[in-house]
Amino acid sequence: MKVEILGPGCVKCQTLAGNVERAVKELELDCEITKVTDIEEIIKRGIMMTPALIVDGSVKAVGKVTSVGEIKSLLSEPS
């Protein structure tokens, strides 16, 4: 599973990254977590508000800090 956090590195982006790491650890998942901070790359992906959360290429959340519980639900969804 690949999880991407898109954002310039602001406080909200850092909080989302921490929530993702905590959710992955609590679920004991083997995930690749990547942070995309390049604004041009973020825009190229059609993201206009940050932070954004992408799981296996699918945009799951945009413009908000997703909670650990919400992330756990998203990561547990069947593909």
Confidence (pTM): 0.92
Q: Mark residue 5 as left, alpha or beta (left: phi above 0; alpha: psi -120 to 50; beta: remaining).
A: beta
Verify whether residue 10 is a known catalytic residue.
yes
79 within some domain: no
Domain that holds residue 23: 2-74
Catalytic hit among 5, 6, 13, 42: 13
Q: Inform me whether the pLDDT recorded for 78 exceeds 80.
A: no
CATH code of residue 7: 3.40.30.10
Q: Is residue 28 part of a domain?
A: yes
Among residues 30, 13, 8, the alpha carbon closest in space to that of 66 is found at: 13
Q: Which residue out of 1, 8, 9, 10 is catalytically annotated?
A: 10
pLDDT band at 79 (very low <50, low <70, confident <90, very high): low
Write out pLDDT tens, residues 27-42. Answer: 999 999 999 999 999 9
Number of domains the chain is built from = 1
Q: What is the mean pLDDT of residues 51-58?
A: 96
